[in-house]
């Protein structure tokens, strides 16, 4: 990549020299991701003190660096050189906005709108951390693209920004929705042609549905944990995800207790986002097939070891668990294989399928235990929950023909 950068910059310098007919003392270089001209023939700045002798000065080009913009950069550089040679060139007014900053779609304007949007959602609908993870990065990319040139049309800027994410990807859908929220704050009309850029997430989804751990994979996971450097407290954390279908963040403030013959988990962690708030709930243990009711003495191990304090103290325990699983994937198999694309959240998906397929709970009942709405449960797991019934129905109809 460095070689490619040197090549286009060398070609640009060579063509600029050809335009100057070999006149020395002029250079084109990249400084802090911007392209600039350096020469001792540039005239003194208006606020520059009088000095004897030649001074090398630099002027930053409006054209961004890169092979795709090399032709435009060459034209801008040659224009500055020609104007300096005839004595017509003047330093731009430092207080005047650049051409691409004077428009409604200027980065500075979009930054102000971003601040207004943040004030409207942080604290009321989402947390500061959620804002930084699911809003700010997308809006900063929009501002970055807005600073590349003047954008006379909203649709042109939005389309160029959205192309930074793969079509039909969740990231592009998130970017589309965040940018639309920004336009709503500004009171600007949303261009209809941009709607097609959002894409259809279902088109990119796995046709088999949410990927959950199967029982054999759970056994392989636990075996690898016991052979790794992870502690007994780490295994308790993983077992809680397995038998209670928790989100990793719900390990915070978690309590286990025996309720009759059933082991239950009291979930205290609240999940809050733009769709609403999920409060505390109690979840009974639903272990994989073949596990004892006491879930390998989970309550005794909980009381003896607890959960890793460094894990539950993290803002996002899921990130630590994901790194642990990544190392476990690299470990030699004990009994079977782990699909390489399985993630910690797959234990929650496996729990959901046990509720619906093994126990036969309704969508409403399963959604209540998992701490989300029936609509979310149906959209995530409906295909897998309906498939066995559909296959049995088709087989029965075929046998009657």
pLDDT (tens digit, 9 = 90+) per residue, 332-390? 887 778 888 899 999 999 999 999 888 989 989 999 999 988 888 888 887 777 776 76
Q: Per the domain annotation, does 210 fall within a domain?
A: no
Q: Per the domain annotation, does 401 fall within a domain?
A: no
Give the pLDDT score at 181: 94
In degrees to the nearest 10, what's the CA dihedral of 391, 364, 321, 126? 130
Residue entry with tokens 């009309």:
189
Q: Per the domain annotation, does 101 fall within a domain?
A: no
The closest of 162, 218, 148 to 193, measured between CA atoms, is 162
**Phi, psi angles (nearest 5°) of residue 101:** -100, -10
User: 120 with 157: CB under 8 angstroms?
Assistant: no
Helix axes 170-186, 154-162, angle to 10 degrees: 150
Model confidence at 291: pLDDT above 60 = yes
Give the pLDDT score at 320: 92
Mean confidence (pLDDT) of the chain: 86
More confident residue, 210 or 42: 42
The SS3 of residue 43 is: coil
Q: Per the domain annotation, does 19 fall within a domain?
A: yes
Give the pLDDT score at 383: 77
Q: Would you state the structure tokens that stand for residue 123, as one six-digit string?
A: 């604290």
More confident residue, 79 or 270: 79
Interatomic CA distance for residues 303 and 292, integer angstroms: 18
Mean pLDDT, rounded, for 188-200: 86
| Strand 57-60 relative to strand 34-39, pairing | antiparallel
β-sheet bridge partners, residue 29: 36
Q: How confident is the model at residue 1 (pLDDT cuts 50, 70, 90)?
A: very low
Q: How confident is the model at residue 206 (pLDDT cuts 50, 70, 90)?
A: low
- Do 372 and 321 belong together in one domain? yes
Give the pLDDT score at 99: 52
- Do 219 and 79 belong together in one domain? no
pLDDT (tens digit, 9 = 90+) per residue, 209-262? 678 899 999 999 999 999 999 999 999 999 999 999 999 999 999 999 999 989
- Do 187 and 84 belong together in one domain? no
Query: Which runs of consecutive H residues, i.e. helices, occur in 68-124?
Result: 70-86, 107-121
In degrees to the nearest 10, what's the CA dihedral of 23, 25, 26, 27? 130
- Do 140 and 82 belong together in one domain? no
The SS3 of residue 121 is: helix
- Do 81 and 169 belong together in one domain? no
Give pTM, 2 decimals.
0.60
User: 358 with 289: CB under 8 angstroms?
Assistant: yes
Q: How confident is the model at residue 55 (pLDDT cuts 50, 70, 90)?
A: confident
Number of compact structural domains in the chain: 3
DSSP string, 312-347: HTSS-HHHHHHHHHHHHHHSPPSSS---TT--TTHH
- Do 90 and 158 belong together in one domain? no
User: 381 with 352: CB under 8 angstroms?
Assistant: yes
**Phi, psi angles (nearest 5°) of residue 276:** 135, -165
User: 292 with 338: CB under 8 angstroms?
Assistant: no
Q: Per the domain annotation, does 332 fall within a domain?
A: yes
Give the pLDDT score at 315: 82
Q: Would you state the structure tokens that stand for residue 7, as one six-digit string?
A: 């090549």
pLDDT (tens digit, 9 = 90+) per residue, 167-186? 888 889 999 999 999 999 88
More confident residue, 279 or 14: 14
- Per 3-state DSSP, the chain is made up of helix, strand and coil in percentages (nearest 5) of 55, 10, 35
Interatomic CA distance for residues 52 and 63, integer angstroms: 32
Beta strands in 9-76 (DSSP E): 26-31, 34-39, 57-60
Q: Per the domain annotation, does 191 fall within a domain?
A: yes
- Do 232 and 335 belong together in one domain? yes
Q: Per the domain annotation, does 359 fall within a domain?
A: yes
Q: Residues with Cβ < 8 Å from 16, sequence gap 6 or more?
A: 26, 28, 74, 77, 78, 81
Give the CA diameter of the chain: 103
Which of 96, 130, 150 is at the close of a domain? 96
Which of 204, 232, 257 is at the close of a domain? 204
- Do 327 and 382 belong together in one domain? yes
- Do 295 and 265 belong together in one domain? yes
- Do 243 and 342 belong together in one domain? yes
The SS3 of residue 92 is: coil
| Strand 276-278 relative to strand 34-39, pairing | unpaired
pLDDT (tens digit, 9 = 90+) per residue, 60-89? 888 888 887 888 889 889 999 999 999 988
- Do 152 and 81 belong together in one domain? no
- Do 117 and 257 belong together in one domain? no
| Residue 337, domain CATH | 1.10.443
Query: Among 110-124, 209-223, 260-274, 326-340, which is the least confidently predicted range?
Result: 260-274
Domain residues for the domain of 247 are 215-396
Model confidence at 114: pLDDT above 80 = yes
The closest of 247, 222, 262 to 352, measured between CA atoms, is 247
Judged on CB neighbours under 10 Å (0-12, 13-18, 19+), 279 is exposed
Helix axes 346-353, 232-244, angle to 10 degrees: 40
Q: Per the domain annotation, does 37 fall within a domain?
A: yes
Which of 37, 64, 96 is at the close of a domain? 96
């Amino acid at each position: 990549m460095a070689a490619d950068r040197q090549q286009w910059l060398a070609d640009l310098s060579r063509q600029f020299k050809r335009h100057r007919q070999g006149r020395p003392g002029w250079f084109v270089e990249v400084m802090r991701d911007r392209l600039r001209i350096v020469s001792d023939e540039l005239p003194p700045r208006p606020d520059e003190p009088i000095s004897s002798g030649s001074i090398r000065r630099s002027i930053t080009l409006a054209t961004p660096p890169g092979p795709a913009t090399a032709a435009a950069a060459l034209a801008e550089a040659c224009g500055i050189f020609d104007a300096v040679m005839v004595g017509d060139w003047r330093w731009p007014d430092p207080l005047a906005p650049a051409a691409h900053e004077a428009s409604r779609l200027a980065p500075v304007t979009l930054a102000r709108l971003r601040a207004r949007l943040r004030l409207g959602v942080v604290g009321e609908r989402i947390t500061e951390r959620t804002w930084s993870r699911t809003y700010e990065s997308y809006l900063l990319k929009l501002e970055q693209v807005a600073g590349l040139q003047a954008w006379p049309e909203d649709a042109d800027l939005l389309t160029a920004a959205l192309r930074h994410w793969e079509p039909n990807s969740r990231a592009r859908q998130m970017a589309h929705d965040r940018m639309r929220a920004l336009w709503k704050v500004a009171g600007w009309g949303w261009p209809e042609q941009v709607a097609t850029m959002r894409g259809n997430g279902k088109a990119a989804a796995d046709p088999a549905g949410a990927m959950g751990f199967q029982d054999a994979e759970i056994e392989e996971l636990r075996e690898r944990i016991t052979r790794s450097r992870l502690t007994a407290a780490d295994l308790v954390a993983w077992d809680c995800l397995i038998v209670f279908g928790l989100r990793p963040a719900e390990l915070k403030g978690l309590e286990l207790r025996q309720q009759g013959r059933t082991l239950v988990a009291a979930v205290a962690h609240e999940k809050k986002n733009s769709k609403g708030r999920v409060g505390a709930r109690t979840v009974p243990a639903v272990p994989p097939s073949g596990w004892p009711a006491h879930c390998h003495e989970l309550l005794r191990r909980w009381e003896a070891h607890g959960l890793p304090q460094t894990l539950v103290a993290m803002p996002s325990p899921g990130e630590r668990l994901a790194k642990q699983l990544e190392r476990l994937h690299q470990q030699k198999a004990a009994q079977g294989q782990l699909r390489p694309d399985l993630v910690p959240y797959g234990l929650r998906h496996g729990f959901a399928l046990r509720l619906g397929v093994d126990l036969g709970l309704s969508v409403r009942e399963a959604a209540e235990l998992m701490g989300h709405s029936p609509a979310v449960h149906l959209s995530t797991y409906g295909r897998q929950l309906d498939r066995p019934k559909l296959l049995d129905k088709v087989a029965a109809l075929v046998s009657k023909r």
